[in-house]
Amino acid sequence: MDGDFDRNAMLAALAWQVELGAVDAIDDAPVDRFEVKPEPKAKPAAAAPAPHAPVVTPEVDTVAEARAAAKAAGSLEALAAAQEAFPHCELKRGARNFVFADGRPEARVMVIGEGPGAEEDAQGKPFVGRSGKLLDKMFAAIGLARDAEEAEAALYITNVVPWRPPQNRDPEPEELAMMRPFVERHIELASPELIVLMGNPACGSLLGKRGITRLRGTWHEVSGVPAMPMFHPSFLLRRPEMKRNAWADLLTVKARLEGLG
């Protein structure tokens, strides 16, 4: 009887433990309930990733790129396409039109101004506003015109920058520098006998000098071609008393042409 009681009591105790979630009645090894277990070692902190080196964008040599593009152009048409596609001049982003040239490329005289104004930007041609009309009158006085049928009496006209500067400001030195290779190639391809530099920006770009009052009236040289600095027509519109100086310079150009002819 006692054995049955003990057996029933043990079965009841086992059932109670099962209900409590007991799985293993006996472990493979004895358990020391009084053992003091060491604290678990902390895992070493992961090393911080090495910072990425800053991405350095190589500086673009805009003048060298312009020189290469201009040199590769074998014709005036190719030069115009290369200059219009040149991506580094910010002036093109605010201009309406690319202004390359006007007149006859085979003309003996090449006129180089500073940059398009509002009228030039609208029409895509150099010297078509008030200053352009005055320029036409000035050269007509010595027998030259952009629309002349004969090359002997023609003019070929361009600018040192082909896009209108904002608010008609002077082109910045870096803008002149990156456009200069195109202008020099333009001169080489057109091959004029004489060049007329209209105003300070043109002189600054191609002569490396400014001070048109001092420079005008004397011959200089650009790309091996005789060059005469003159007052820009827009300046003459503001200072008409200076037209006599411009007339003297025009007579000097006419005399040089006659001497070359």
The pTM score is 0.77
Please, are residues 231 and 147 in contact by the beta-carbon 8 Å criterion?
no
Please, are residues 86 and 69 in contact by the beta-carbon 8 Å criterion?
yes
**Tens of pLDDT, residues 58-97:** 678 999 999 999 999 999 999 999 999 999 999 999 999 9
Tell me the one-letter amino acid at 250. L
**Tens of pLDDT, residues 185-213:** 999 999 999 999 999 999 999 999 999 99
Q: What integer best gives the mean pLDDT of the chain?
A: 88
Q: Which two tokens stand for residue 91?
A: 């002036």
CA distances from 222 to 15, 87, 90, 187, 194 (A): 112, 26, 26, 9, 9
Task: Calculate what percentage of the chain has a pLDDT beyond 90.
Answer: 75
The residues spanned by each domain of the chain are 63-260
Please, are residues 226 and 219 in contact by the beta-carbon 8 Å criterion?
yes
Q: What is the DSSP letter of 196?
A: E
Question: How many Cβ atoms are within 10 Å of 148's Cβ, its own excluded?
Answer: 17
Helix (H, G, I), strand (E, B) or coil at 244: helix
Q: How far apart are CA 208 and CA 190, in angstroms?
A: 22
Domain 63-260 class, CATH top level = alpha beta
